[in-house]
Structure 1
């Protein structure tokens, strides 16, 4: 289960990139418990682009 969906993360990162406020203020504004999450999302987007924040669900099968 994904706690924050792609569109939510994208809006938070875009707000940071526009220079509105810092990590801590964005975390409070959007109800994110730790500003470290915002920091992590911004760094991932800066390095890999927005598509990297999409959740990639993989169906795995395990043998007993």
Structure 2
């Protein structure tokens, strides 16, 4: 049984549902295995515990929001 583990910062219930659906669909298609065999697990980490380039998720989201506002 294939196992898909997805780790991220805080996610909304809607995003989690879409991730589960799409990760399963794409994996089943690529691997040519029925969707019923896939196990998906989402591990949410606090935003302050996830970082890229020395900035945590809260900082990155604030920067993206400011960039979108400027456009």
On whether the aligned pair clears a TM of 0.5, the verdict is: no
Bigger Rg over Cα: 2
Tell me which of the two structures has the higher relative contact order, counting C-alpha pairs closer than 8 angstroms and 6 or more residues apart.
Answer: 2
Which structure has greater strand proportion?
2
